[in-house]
C-alpha cells in the first residue's frame, strides 16, 4: 500500500486539523462540518496529482489554449454518516465524479468493548475500471473500511483505489496494509499516537459523526 501523509509540512491543513480537535469549538457543529469539508478539498487537491490527465484544446474569447483535464473516471464513496462533510469537500473539486454511499457501524452484540462491523445500506455507481475514492474521517481499527471495501468489491473491480482519511491510528494503517491490495493508495491528513482500550483514536477528536450532526441514540 502506498501511504501519503499530508500534514508533515506546515500548511493551512494543520490549521483546520487543529480546529476540528479543539474542545473549545466542538459545540459549533457547522464550523466542524465546514472544517472537515475544507480538509477534504485540500486532500482532493493533493490526490489529484496522482490521477491521469489528457491534453485538450480550449476555445477562449481570443484564441485556442492547450491544457489538460482529468482523464480518469472517478467514483467518490463515503461511509455514512460521518463521511458526508468529507465527501462534500472532495466533490467540490471532483465535481464530475459519480457518487456512492455506504453505511457501516460498530455493533456491540454483548454490550461490551467487543464489536463487529455491520454494513447495511449501499447506493453506488458502477465502479468497474474506474478510480474508486473511498473517504472516511477516522481510521481507527480499520475494520469499517475493510468491511466496506469487501462489500464494494462484490459490485465490480476498480482500476485504482484511493482511500482518504482525516485522522488515523497506526493500528488501523497496519490493518489496512494486511487486508487490502498493495496497489491501494492511502491518504492520511494526520497520524495520531494509538488506540485506547475502547478502540478510539488518541488524542483524536471524539466522534466525528456526533460532532457534525449531533449525538445518536
pLDDT tens digits, residue range 41-96? 999 999 999 999 999 999 999 999 999 999 999 999 999 889 999 999 999 999 99
pLDDT in tens, 83-133: 999 999 999 999 999 999 998 877 666 666 667 778 888 899 999 999 999
Neighbours of 193 (CB within 10 A): 11
Percent of the chain's residues with pLDDT above 70: 95
Give residue limits of the domains in the chain: 2-50+73-213
The pTM assigned to this predicted structure is 0.92
Sign of CA dihedral 65, 66, 71, 77: negative
Q: Which fold has domain 2-50+73-213?
A: Rossmann fold (3.40.50)
Percent of the chain's residues with pLDDT above 90: 83
Q: Which three cell numbers stand for residue 72?
A: 480518469
Amino acid at each position: 500500500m502506498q501511504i501519503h501523509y499530508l500534514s508533515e509540512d506546515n500548511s493551512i491543513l494543520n490549521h483546520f486539523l487543529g480546529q476540528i480537535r479543539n474542545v473549545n469549538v466542538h459545540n459549533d457543529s457547522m464550523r466542524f462540518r465546514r472544517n472537515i469539508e475544507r480538509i477534504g478539498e485540500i486532500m482532493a487537491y493533493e490526490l489529484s496529482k496522482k490521477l491521469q490527465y489528457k491534453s485538450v484544446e480550449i476555445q477562449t474569447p481570443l484564441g485556442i489554449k492547450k491544457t489538460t483535464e482529468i482523464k480518469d473516471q472517478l467514483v467518490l464513496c463515503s461511509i455514512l454518516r460521518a463521511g458526508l462533510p468529507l465527501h462534500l469537500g472532495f466533490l467540490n473539486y471532483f465535481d464530475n465524479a459519480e457518487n456512492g454511499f455506504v453505511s457501516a457501524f460498530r455493533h456491540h452484540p454483548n454490550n461490551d468493548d467487543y464489536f463487529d462491523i455491520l454494513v447495511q445500506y449501499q447506493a453506488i455507481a458502477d465502479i468497474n475500471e474506474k478510480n474508486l475514492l473511498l473517504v472516511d474521517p477516522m481510521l481507527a481499527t480499520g475494520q469499517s473500511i475493510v468491511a466496506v471495501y469487501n462489500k464494494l468489491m462484490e459490485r465490480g473491480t476498480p482500476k485504482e483505489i484511493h482511500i482518504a482519511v482525516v485522522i488515523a491510528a497506526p493500528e488501523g494503517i497496519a490493518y489496512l496494509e494486511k487486508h487490502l491490495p498493495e496497489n491501494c493508495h492511502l491518504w492520511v491528513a494526520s497520524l495520531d499516537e494509538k488506540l485506547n482500550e475502547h478502540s478510539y483514536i488518541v488524542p483524536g477528536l471524539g466522534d466525528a459523526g456526533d460532532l457534525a450532526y449531533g449525538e445518536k441514540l
